[in-house]
Amino acid sequence: MSSCDSCKSKDQCGSASSGSCPGEGEQSPESFREKLHAESSIGIVIGLCSGKGGVGKSLVTSVLAAKLAREGYRVGILDADVTGPSIPKAFGLSGQLSGSSAGIMPVITHSGIQVVSVNLLLENEEAPVIWRGPVIAGVVKQFWTDVIWKELDVLLIDMPPGTGDVPLTVFQAIPLDGVILVSTPQDLVSMVVNKARNMALMMKVRILGFVENMSYITCTHCGEQIPIFGTGGVDKAAAELNVPVFDKVAVDPFVTALVDAGEIEKIHTDMLDGTVRFVAGLIDKKRANS
């Protein structure tokens, strides 16, 4: 039996497996939170997550940021994918972050998006980051505590795939308003994304909804949408959680070319319009309640 008098059995106590109960030395989730830099100001914080790599999570983050900025919102990107940072490439950023004894200053894109990434700390952007998990997690914490994020409406966190050290650090150390899960349609990938979904649920992080990337290609001759990776997996996962699929994104060579050229801010398609509307609504609600 658990030593907690309020628990009738071990099955009813979330801490029974460790032999302790709430109120008996167990740390609350808030106790793991890291303090934001004193000179920073952030409205809401949203994580972009996936269960595996190669699903286009960084692309979704970049497009979402660019389109929110075009709508007049003040946007920042914390690139937490330390060993595979691709955000600077999408925005054509190079050089190193600046700072002083007060803190680290983000690099600013053409449209005013504030960006922090490990690749903006390296002299050679192609140099591999060969660090152990705790070191990487520590760097991500510093991107929250030591960076001066100036008057942001929203900070987007581009998280590495999977359920390892960095996602755990972000979920514990940063007060997220929620996460958006990015997946491709095939069942195998959707199954892996469910691991990220379950991790978020276990960490009591709100899942806002899904983006299905690489959902289809459009025939250039007849306009037919061809679901090259199948259908249904993401819809099923979203239905189980009673959350929306904000967008189903086509494979678009034009968007790929913009990323390769470092010009993602020039995007003028309807890509991610549903996700943009949802996040803009959260920002506006936050403003109204402030």
pTM beyond cutoff 0.95: no
Please report, for residues 100, 222, 251, 273, the alpha-carbon distance to residue 219 in angstroms, rounded to integers and kept in the order given.
52, 6, 11, 21
pLDDT at position 21 over 50: no
- Confidence grade of residue 280 (pLDDT, cut at 50, 70, 90): very high
- So what's the pLDDT on residue 256? 92
User: Lowest-pLDDT range, 67-76, 103-112, 229-238?
Assistant: 229-238
The pLDDT value recorded for residue 289 is: 92
pLDDT band at 246 (very low <50, low <70, confident <90, very high): very high
Which of 47-56, 230-239, 242-251 has maximum average pLDDT? 242-251
* Per-residue pLDDT, 39: 95
Return d(Cα 20, Cα 102) in angstroms, integer: 41
* Segments in the chain forming alpha helices (H): 57-70, 87-91, 133-145, 165-173, 187-202, 233-241, 253-260, 273-289
Please report the pLDDT score of residue 30 as a whole number.
Answer: 60
**Mean pLDDT across the chain:** 85
Looking at per-residue pLDDT, the higher value among 141 and 29 belongs to 141
Listed ranges 17-31, 130-144, 201-215; the one with the highest mean pLDDT: 201-215
For residue 20, pLDDT beyond 60: no
Pick the CATH number of 40-184+255-289 from 3.40.350.10, 3.40.640.10, 3.40.50.720, 3.40.50.300: 3.40.50.300
Domain ranges of the chain: 40-184+255-289
Say how far residue 124 (Cα) sits from the centre of its chain.
25
Alpha carbon distance 206, 233 (integer Å):
20
Position 22 pLDDT exceeds 80: no
d(CA 61, CA 211): 11
Q: Which residues pair with 181 in a beta bridge?
A: 49, 210
